[in-house]
Amino acid sequence: MYYLGIDVGSVSTDIVILNEELKVLEGLYLKTRGKPINAIQEGFRILKNKYSEEEIGAVGTTGSGRQIAAYIIGGDAVKNEITAHAVAALNLDKEVSTIIEIGGQDSKIITIKNNIVTDFAMNTVCAAGTGSFLDRQAERLEIPIEKFGEYALRSTTPVRIAGRCAVFAESDMIHKQQLGYKEEDIIAGLCEALVRNYLNNVGKGKEIKSKVFFQGGVAANKGMKAAFEKAIGCEVYVPKSYNLMGAIGAGIIASSTISKTKEKTKFKGFKLSEFKFASKSFECDGCSNKCEVIKIGAQGVNVGCFGDRCGKWSQKAVI
């Protein structure tokens, strides 16, 4: 019996298959591109040739698009990202006390005591330090994002970069380039600036205690890991499946839910990969963010929405 976990985010949609020992058998990291259902369908087309629907014992969803995903695919458990990331980390190591999670468009900090989440904070407003911002800087410097961390580690004298805001950080980087500083020193300085920004905003007032896990796509950046270790004064651990931890947590939660209820899974099957869903967008005028919200429909019926920052539309299915 296998367990399916899905993390639907603004930048990526992650899908994992866990075995009965809750170990990862399959992990898919897919770009959402504003079309979360298409991303799920893409993953299902890959999985349907490897696993049968009868082998899936439970399905869990998390992420900003978790409600829509659960409704469409037949989810047995729907949980927020904080819970999912904490469950995945604790499944690997019961000694985890702090989780630093930085994804494509947001960042989080989770503190744990006695295997229970005691506090957390999220930053969904400023892009500084997120994966999308780092991608942008790597593209501007014409350096592959996979090598960004390696450049930072080569630096011996990091340049101080203003990292309070994404706009200021980019402007300061350009200024330092014009002054002739080495790329590796600028990149190392950027990593340190983004860590300062994280600790002064997301981590403000939080007690960061060892053992510290670094999760999310940005954890692949060795420069960010080194900058965190320098700033907090202790080792930072990056799990093997650092970019899939939300999906892993969702799968574990689903297995626990089915185990308790003894009910049969609601999973509707990999055949959903062939269904046709339509998407259209509208601008929410609920606040100054003016989020572009994606409305998803199937066969003339509104299924749900995706893309808002506050959860006003995405936290519930329309039907």
pLDDT value, residue 319: 42
Q: What percentage of the chain reaches a pLDDT higher than 90?
A: 49
Beta strands in the chain (DSSP E): 2-8, 12-18, 24-31, 56-62, 77-78, 98-102, 107-113, 116-123, 212-215, 236-237, 278-283, 292-298, 301-306
- Sequence letter at residue 36: P
For residue 35, the SS3 value is coil
CATH 2.60.40.1220 for domain 93-240: no
Sheet with 12-18: strands ordered across: 24-31, 12-18, 2-8, 56-62, 77-78
- Cis check: omega of the bond before 211, within 30 degrees of 0: yes
Q: Which of 92-96, 139-143, 211-215 is predicted least confidently? A: 139-143
- Please name which of 195, 179, 190, 209 lies closest in space to residue 143, comparing C-alpha atoms: 190
pLDDT value, residue 299: 63
Residue 128 has pLDDT above 70, yes or no: no
Residue 75 has pLDDT above 60, yes or no: yes
DSSP for residue 263: P
For residue 222, the SS3 value is helix
pLDDT value, residue 47: 94
For residue 126, the SS3 value is coil
Q: pLDDT band for position 255 (50/70/90)?
A: very high
Question: Cβ–Cβ contacts within 10 Å for residue 149, how many?
Answer: 23
What's the CA gap between 161 and 159, in Å, rounded?
Answer: 6
Residue 94 has pLDDT above 70, yes or no: yes
Q: Which of 164-168, 184-188, 301-305, 308-312 is predicted least confidently? A: 301-305
- Please name which of 76, 10, 71, 56 lies closest in space to residue 260, comparing C-alpha atoms: 76
Of 113 and 281, which is predicted with more confidence? 113
Q: For residue 229, what are its two tokens?
A: 């270790």
pLDDT value, residue 314: 72
Residue 318 has pLDDT above 60, yes or no: no
pLDDT value, residue 289: 84
Q: For residue 107, what are its two tokens?
A: 């960042």
Residue 84 has pLDDT above 90, yes or no: yes
Q: pLDDT band for position 264 (50/70/90)?
A: very high
Residues ≥6 apart with Cβ < 8 Å to 2: 17, 18, 19, 20, 25, 51, 55, 56, 57
Q: What are phi and psi of 309, to 5 degrees?
A: -85, -35
Q: pLDDT, tens digit, for every residue of 135-169?
A: 888 888 888 888 888 999 999 899 998 867 777 88
The pLDDT mean for the chain works out to 88
What's the CA gap between 80 and 89, in Å, rounded?
Answer: 15
Q: What are phi and psi of 2, to 5 degrees?
A: -115, 160
- Domains of the chain, by residue range, sit at 93-240, 276-319
For residue 7, the SS3 value is strand
- Please name which of 154, 109, 155 lies closest in space to residue 129, comparing C-alpha atoms: 109
pLDDT value, residue 129: 66
For residue 294, the SS3 value is strand
